[in-house]
Amino acid sequence: MAPWMNLVKLPLALGVLAACAGCTGSGGRASDAQAFENAVAQVGCTVGSYDQAQKVEQISGLSPDQLGDILQSYAQEGWVVPNEDGFRLIIGPCAP
């Protein structure tokens, strides 16, 4: 699993997330959030393996810190749902 997923997986599982001070609802700049959503959609809307996480990093062009911040913000908003191995995006191009 990519390091940025590990930053969020435990807090997601425990339901305890740190506040993302200064973040917008989209986890920061809108373009970063859009890059994240599009990258996750390209790997099938669910990120549950190291390979998928690496692809999200590569496709989005975002750093692990940026991805971790966005993922934390999305988790706080309920826009990602934790699963056994990672998360599923449920908004934007991955909306049910």
41-89, pLDDT tens digit by residue?
999 999 999 899 999 999 999 999 899 999 999 999 999 999 888 999 9
Residue 47 forms beta bridges with which residues?
87
- Distance, in Å, from the CA atom of 24 to the CA atom of 14, rounded to the nearest integer, reads 23
Q: How confident is the model at residue 1 (pLDDT cuts 50, 70, 90)?
A: low
Position with higher pLDDT, 90 vs 18: 90
**Domain segments of the chain as ranges:** 3-10+24-94
Which top CATH class is 3-10+24-94? mainly alpha
Tokens for 9? 């997986």
Alpha helices in 1-96 (DSSP H): 3-14, 30-42, 50-60, 64-77
Per-residue pLDDT tens over the stretch 18-44: 333 333 444 446 899 999 999 999 999
Query: Which residues contact residue 13 at a Cβ distance below 8 angstroms, ignoring those fewer than 6 apart?
Result: 82
